[in-house]
Chain A
Amino acid sequence: MRTVKITTVLALVAALLVVQARAAEPVKIGFITSLSGPAGIIGKHMKDSVELALDHLGRKVGGLDVEIVYGDDQRKPDVGKQLADEMLKKHRVHFVSGIIWSNVMLAVAPTVTGAGTIMVGTNAGPHELAGKMCHELYFTTSWQNDQTPEAMGKYMQDQGLTDVYAMAPNYAAGKDMISGFKRYFKGKVVGEVYTKLGQQDYQAEITQLRAANPKVVFVFYPGDMGIQFLKQYAQAGLREQIPLYSVYTVDEISIPAVGDAALGNYETRYWSPDLKNDANAKYVGDFKKKFGYTPTFYGAQSYDGILLIDSAVRAVKGDLSNKKGMVAAMRKADFKSTRGRFAYNVNHHPIQNFYLLRSVKPASGEIEMQIQKTVFENHKDAYYQECPMKW
């Protein structure tokens, strides 16, 4: 009798310990972005979106408690890598996510995947990671850098626009944007100008632009460069004369700073706050309610990233050691994305639509981006064939 009692107690204790051990391990996610400095505003958008995603999930990922560690990469690749090392070795995260800049991503992603941990990028889309350097453990919820300008190129080509004057900053992303554009636009380009990275005054270039007499202007000016260029373009009186098409220039971050100078501009993007689907309506509505400003695509991507991770953890029923299972689940992308239908290509980059957006001023008075038409349906990036993965 006594042995039975002891055995039962021991069994119960053992069972409790096992249950305790399983229930105790939370999901740890490391999120790296730029939180300080001029680009900190983008980091804020991403962080706020991550927090909203966690709220929507009830502060549980895949049914498990979640611990999220934020890191500020200060826009420096070596700091990003150090953060990744710290998250992997010290905090022992199960996922690393985030990253705005391509050069930081190229330093961090191999570190994370090399350590056998899943990386979910939520913005940077360097072509190396879509092509030759694609990896089983690397996923992105954003796009490949070239896709957005490709969409613009296609739209302009379809419209039969010609005499295009193209401008971008003189760095890798700038050159990628113009080459992506030219991959689909086969019309006449009357000027291709690269300006200094971080340049503030574009008066000289605008003067040259006017002299070249283009019919359309296409630019890529992210961040504060965009704000400056848009203002000065409008001040030069060109906004009424020559239509301005751009990528990554007019968005919910730059519009408040530029005001009417951004009115009437065209952009291409895979997403817009007014994209009609349930998940997006919930995201944008709750985001505005909680944080008091309109989210951007940086946020939507980060939101999707958390949902993607949640779907993977749920699929393996919380068994975080089952990496193969999680990878398989992620490939299925079984979650409600803010962009609607979500499907992955072999290189773990999304196959998605791209839309033409225009900045308009509706009756409510605030300028916002609105979708005009679909340019690409289920568009694949240009590098997936270089990726050796097959599944």
Chain B
Amino acid sequence: MSWLLVVEQLLNGLQLGVMLFLVAAGLTLVFGIMNLVNLAHGSLYMVGAYFAVAFRAWTGSFAAAVVLALLATLVVGMLVEVIALRTLYERDHLDQVLATFGLILFFNEAVAIVWGRAALFASVPPALGGFVELVPGLRYPVYRAVIILVGLAVALLLYVVVSHTRLGMLIRAGASNRTMVAALGVNIRALYTVVFGFGAALAGLGGLMAGPIYTVQPGMGEELLIEVLVVIVIGGIGSIRGALVGAIVVGMVDTLGRAYLKPTLATVISPTAADSAGPALASMLVYILMAAVLYFRPQGLFPAVRGR
């Protein structure tokens, strides 16, 4: 029974990691290509979740809500880019941090004004409820399994797009030499808007999938934002591969730490001390991990090679 438990925890870690990856991918893409630190990424995650709830209430169908919410978040993302972020590309990171932090405040209140401060009702659609028996004795919630599959599919999609399509080529070229790409006649502005919108849609996807299992309320993106920033820093900013590896590592470390740190500590120190030291240490584990990675690799695990 015990090893089944470990397998289940590994699956939990994978699922958490995949969720982080969905949001991290958009953020690292935007950072790597446009050199833009976008703290409001968490707000786009939140917007996706809210749109999904609203559309589901409107159409009655989860599938329709997903499609509509993705489109809506894409549009919102592109609007934000055009209105607020265009001027920030040339600025230094500090200005970007501040301006996008201001956007966070704005989005949180805007959402509260439109939908109220109370958490919205979001549930797993009946079609995706229930369990799947992966291995005899190991029942895993279908919805969470779907999240894992979707996340891996998105990772695959991103890989295909970036390595095998013209858009991906432009993205990679723009990341390494923006001026050259512009000089070759590519509409850099349009490219940036599309990339940003795409990143926003990814965040929105993360949000709408998280809605049924987490809370849909103003500020829901902030706790996640910290974890996502940790992920892309560990993985290396600008690298999607780094985001995937970083996300899964963080998901695993966090999950396994929460599950096994206390019992492990209890063997060394008294159980009552382990009761509070365990969770305290578990909550810091991810940060300790990041500090350790940065100590040995100050640019993350897979730093994107940049040239100008």
Contacts and interface: CB of A to CB of B under 8 A. Distances in A.
Contacts of B123: 231, 259-261
Interface of B: 1, 5, 8-9, 12-13, 15-16, 108-109, 112, 116-124, 129, 131, 139, 141, 143-144, 210, 212-220, 223-224, 255-256, 258-259, 262, 275-276, 278-280, 282-283
A224 B223 CA distance: 12
Contact of B216 (A41, A205, A257): A257
Contacts of A36: 109
A199 B254 CA distance: 11
A195 B216 CA distance: 20
- 7 closest residue pairs by CB, A with B: A257-B119, A196-B283, A224-B215, A41-B117, A170-B279, A194-B279, A203-B12
A40 interface: yes
A253 interface: yes
B276 A170 contact: yes
**In this complex, which of A194, A197, A199, A207 has the most chain B Cβ atoms within 10 angstroms of its Cβ?**
A207
A82 interface: no
Contact of A207 (B5, B122, B219): B5
Interface residues of A, number: 40
Contact of A198 (B223, B259, B280): B223
Given A38-B217, A196-B258, A204-B12, 18 more contacts: A38-B218, A41-B118, A170-B276, A194-B275, A200-B210, A200-B224, A204-B13, A204-B258, A205-B258, A207-B12, A224-B215, A227-B119, A228-B215, A235-B129, A235-B143, A257-B119, A258-B121, A259-B121
A40 B112 contact: yes
Interface of A, helix, strand, loop or mixed by DSSP? helix
A254 B119 contact: yes
A195 B279 contact: yes
A351 to B, nearest CB: 32
Nearest to B227: A200
A365 interface: no
17 contacts: A38-B218, A40-B117, A41-B119, A200-B210, A203-B12, A204-B12, A204-B13, A204-B258, A207-B9, A227-B119, A228-B215, A231-B123, A231-B212, A235-B129, A235-B213, A237-B131, A257-B121
A204 B213 contact: no
A8 interface: no
Nearest to B13: A204
B86 to A, nearest CB: 29
A253 B275 CA distance: 30
